[in-house]
Amino acid sequence: MSTGRKFADAGRFLISGSGTVYLVLIAIFAVIFVNNAGFFEAGNLLLFVKKAAPLLILAVGQYFVIVAGEFDLSVGSLVGAQVVLAALLIDGEEARTWPVILLMLAIGAGVGLVNGLITTLLKVPSIITTLGMMLVLFGAIRLLTGGAPTGKLSDGFRVLGNKGIIIESVGVVPWALFIVIAVGVGAVFLMRSSFGRTLVAVGDNEKAAGFAGTRVWWVRTAAFVLSGLSATVAGILVGGYAGLTSQVGDGMEFVAITAVVLGGVVLGGGRGAVLAAMAGALTVESLFTLFTQLEVSSTLRPTAQGLIIIAAVAYASRERSRRHTPHLSTKPAEPNGHHPDRVLKESR
């Protein structure tokens, strides 16, 4: 493939539905750079990563659920519940750190399993299932602590979200960065495995996937379990980064869904890439950073946020419909190695 073709391909990808997010991300970083070049010093960037890490991980979990055609509204309160529970159980004792983290992972997987089974086996729409779970978790955790969070997170617990290892010439590289990279690489491999393909297929056309031999209920349930696990990891990072407050996790489910959708993942399932979802999360976080730099009054931020989501999603869906009309009359699908989802979608 000639260099020119490659550039043209890259260009087409960037203005395509799921490439939009990278353009937006580059644009926001460009504005940040013009405003304050100091942001791009290693130290500041690493600080930014530490702050953005929980949302990135939450976006990965939400991606699995959304691409399979469902929603998970319970992640915000799950993050909050996990942090409060961890503080209650650890209560400042170092020795309890790891057992509690294991327990948290088990709880996260359990919550995901319950969400998944209620949604798939009892046929309750996932919005309602996870809304119910959100209420249950919210109430349960406050019931347990009597309203105000009690206990204390151990220093060992907070290391993951707050500290890093010192690397020569770069400075302190936060653990959160390694965790994000690990989760990201894991997610990409998972989406390329047969499980990932099945997940997308289920989201695209549940019936066809069922006829092809997929156990639809199990694949969707697994997506919810992954979401619960990622909310747990996000909770560990948030707890480390921000410490214990009663508002931990508030409203995070909507930010995570926004991030995933901003990444070009289509609500309703079957379309979108996990890396783009992570880029969406990074975009949301960099947007917040930009607002801080531009000294946008904090009360006006939601307005800007709302306008940007609508604009980005409208642009992506316009590109999608424009790109697809010609294919109806011409040859079915171009071989397109670098973008598996597209092939899947077009061969429908």
Partner 1 sequence: MTAAVREASKASGPPPGTRRSGPRFHIGTTALVYGALVAILAVGAVLVAADGKNLFSTGNIVDMLTRSSLLGFIAIGQTMVILCRSLDLSVGYVMAACSLIAALVMNGSEANVPLGIAAALGAAAAVGLVNGLVITKLKVNAFIATLGTGLILKGWLDTEFAGPAGKVATSFQQFGYTRISLVPLSTVVMLLLAVAGVLYLRKTRAGHHIYAVGGDTDVARLSGIRTDRTVITAHILCAVAAGVAGLLIAARFGTGSALVYDYGLDLESIAAVVLGGTYLMGGRGGIAGTVAGVMILAVLDTVFNILEVNPFYKDVLRGAIIVVAVAIYARRQLSARPSRIRFAAGGAS
User: Distance (Å, rounded) from C-alpha 221 to C-alpha 135?
Assistant: 20
Contacting residue, 27, 106, 212, 300, with partner 1 by CB under 8 A: 300
User: Distance (Å, rounded) from C-alpha 190 to C-alpha 159?
Assistant: 28
Contacting residue, 43, 110, 125, 186, with partner 1 by CB under 8 A: 125
Contacting residue, 15, 127, 182, 212, with partner 1 by CB under 8 A: 127
Please state the closest distance from residue 289 (CB atom) to partner 1, in A. Answer: 18
321 binds partner 1 (CB under 8 A): yes
Please state the closest distance from residue 129 (CB atom) to partner 1, in A. Answer: 6
| Number of neighbouring beta carbons within 10 Å of residue 216 | 17
Contacting residue, 152, 215, 301, 323, with partner 1 by CB under 8 A: 301
The pair of structure tokens assigned to 336 is 């397109």
Site for partner 1 in 151-180 (CB under 8 A): none
Nearer to partner 1, 96 or 301 (CB): 301
Please give the span between the terminal C-alpha atoms of the chain, in angstroms, as a whole number: 27
Build a one-symbol-per-residue string for 197-216: x at contacts with partner 1 by CB under 8 A, - elsewhere. Answer: -----xxxxxx---------
Nearer to partner 1, 161 or 249 (CB): 249
Site for partner 1 in 25-44 (CB under 8 A): none
Contacting residue, 181, 314, 336, 343, with partner 1 by CB under 8 A: 314
The full DSSP string for 185-242 is HHHHHHHHSHHHHHHHHHHH-HHHHHHTT--HHHHHHHHHHHHHHHHHHHHHHHHHHH
For the chain, what is the radius of gyration of the CA atoms? 21
Q: Can you tell me whether residue 75 is helix, strand or coil?
A: helix
Q: Can you tell me whether residue 146 is helix, strand or coil?
A: coil
- Contact segment (CB under 8 A) with partner 1 among 44-52, 105-113, 240-248, 267-275 equals 267-275
User: Distance (Å, rounded) from C-alpha 39 to C-alpha 255?
Assistant: 23
User: Distance (Å, rounded) from C-alpha 157 to C-alpha 284?
Assistant: 26
Nearer to partner 1, 299 or 347 (CB): 299
63-97 burial, b at 16+ Cβ within 10 Å, e below that, comes to bbbbbbbbbbbbbbbbbbbbbbbbbbbbeeeeebb
293 binds partner 1 (CB under 8 A): no
Nearer to partner 1, 42 or 311 (CB): 311
Site for partner 1 in 68-87 (CB under 8 A): 69, 71, 73
223 binds partner 1 (CB under 8 A): no
- Contact segment (CB under 8 A) with partner 1 among 100-108, 190-198, 262-270, 328-336 equals 262-270
3-state helix, strand, coil in the chain (%, to 5): 75, 0, 25
Nearer to partner 1, 95 or 135 (CB): 135
Contacting residue, 304, 323, 339, 344, with partner 1 by CB under 8 A: 304
Residue 249 has φ and ψ, to the nearest 5°, of 85, -10
By CB under 8 A, name the binding residues for partner 1.
69, 71, 73, 118, 122-125, 127-129, 131-136, 138-140, 142-143, 147, 202-207, 254, 257-258, 261, 266-270, 297, 299-307, 309-310, 313-314, 317-318, 321
